[in-house]
Amino acid sequence: MPTPIAFVEHDQAVLGMLTNVFGGDSAFQVAGRFTSVASALEQIPALPAPPAVVLMDIHFPRGSGIECTQRLKEAMPKLLVLMLTALADSETLFQALRAGADGYLLKRTSPAGIVAAVEEALNGGAPMTPGIARKVLRHFDSDRHRTARLSELTSREREVLEHLARFGSSDKEIAKALHISPETVAFHFRGIYTKLQVQSRSEAIVRYYRPEATPGR
């Protein structure tokens, strides 16, 4: 069955591009297109076939895609939300991750790259474009709380989480890189979630490198 996907985007050109790309891919079904935060919050949870993935812009004439992400995730915990935005500043990035975003892409990402990122998220990854990943790592490396946060996890849990943060990998890719099974990767993620008091991989990354972030949001 095709994966239902929805777009929350007020730029008609970007909305048309996403519709053409995913509407022409038999692996996906466009479940909804929304040009405002208000319409997305009202209609997405009520769709007959709720989307598995939402591609979300950040800035709207009224409302915020970050707030929309948080509220949708509260109403639909299994929903995957990938931010698709022109902005790449660190604070906006971390606000989006704290809101529960499962990935962060720039609008200049190629259509094929966007599709690949959605597939990666569906496979358990946390996709980020290379420029975003570098920005995150620079911020991570300067965090004065890093050592204290490292001490709460086992060495293998740190390897798993750092591989996720650097490469946005799926369980299968992390397992291959660390020479362990995907089931063992999943086991380590359960330990990470418990120790960092989070419920998603994006929240784990934020809590690991930004310990002042509020657990759970």
- pLDDT value at 100 more than 70: yes
Residues 39 and 89 in one domain: yes
> Among residues 129, 155, 187, which one ends one of the domains?
129
Domain residues for 95? Answer: 3-129
164 CA to centre of own chain: 12
- Burial letters 151-183, b for 16+ CB under 10 A, else e: eebeeebbbbbbbbbebbbbbebbbeeeebeee
Is the four-CA dihedral 95, 8, 49, 182 of positive or negative sign?
Answer: negative
What pLDDT score does 202 carry? 73
> How many beta carbons lie within 10 A of that of residue 105, not counting itself?
19
How many domains in the chain?
Answer: 2
**Six-digit token pair at 97?**
């991750």
> Among residues 67, 98, 129, which one ends one of the domains?
129
Residues 26 and 107 in one domain: yes
Residue 163 domain-assigned?
A: yes
Residue 215 domain-assigned?
A: no
Name the residue type at position 132: I
* The pairing of beta strand 28-34 with beta strand 53-56: unpaired
Residue 199 domain-assigned?
A: yes
What pLDDT score does 22 carry? 97
Read off the CATH number of the domain in which 102 is found. Answer: 3.40.50.2300
**Six-digit token pair at 114?**
């966007």
Residue 217 domain-assigned?
A: no
- pLDDT value at 215 more than 50: no
Q: Binning pLDDT at 50, 70 and 90, where does residue 46 land?
A: very high
% the chain with pLDDT above 70: 82
Residues 110 and 205 in one domain: no
Question: What's the pLDDT tens digit per position in 127-178?
Answer: 877 667 666 656 555 554 455 455 678 889 888 888 887 766 678 888 888 9
Residues 102 and 156 in one domain: no
Read off the CATH number of the domain in which 148 is found. Answer: 1.10.10.10
Residues 106 and 19 in one domain: yes
- pLDDT value at 179 more than 50: yes
Residues 94 and 40 in one domain: yes
> Among residues 79, 96, 129, which one ends one of the domains?
129
What sections of 86-154 are H helices per DSSP? Answer: 90-98, 111-122, 130-141, 146-150
What is the CB-side half-sphere exposure of residue 217 using CA atoms within 13 A? Answer: 10
